[in-house]
Amino acid sequence: HTCSLITFSSKNLRQTSTGLLFIFLTFANILYQLITIRDFITLYLLIPTIPSVELCRFCTFIRNFSTFTSAWLLVFIAIDRFIRARFPLKQIRLCTCKTGFYSFIIVCICSTIFTCHVLQSEFIYSDVKSNTCGPSRSPITSYSNFYFNIWPILQVIITYFIPSCLMIISVVSIYSKVRSQRNIVRRGKNEKIQQHMLILMISSVTCFAVCTLSYSIHRVVYSRTGVTSATVDQIAVLT
Q: Which pLDDT tens digit goes with each residue over 53-96?
A: 888 888 889 989 998 999 999 999 889 988 988 888 888 888 88
143: pLDDT strictly greater than 80: yes
pLDDT tens, position by position, 204-224:
777 777 777 666 666 666 655
pLDDT of residue 133: 77
| Domain range enclosing 157 | 2-238
CATH number where 190 lies: 1.20.1070.10
108: pLDDT strictly greater than 70: yes
pLDDT of residue 168: 86
> Residues 199-204: what's their mean pLDDT?
75
Query: CB neighbours of 167 closer than 8 A, spacing ≥ 6?
Result: 74, 75, 78, 205, 208, 209
Quote the number of domains for the chain. 1
231: pLDDT strictly greater than 60: no
pLDDT of residue 230: 46
At 234, the pLDDT band (50, 70, 90 cuts) reads very low
How distant is the alpha carbon of residue 131 from its chain centre?
24
Q: Where is pLDDT greater, at 216 or 160?
A: 160
Q: 0.85 exceeded by the pTM? A: no
Task: Compute φ and ψ for 73, nearest 5 degrees.
Answer: -65, -40
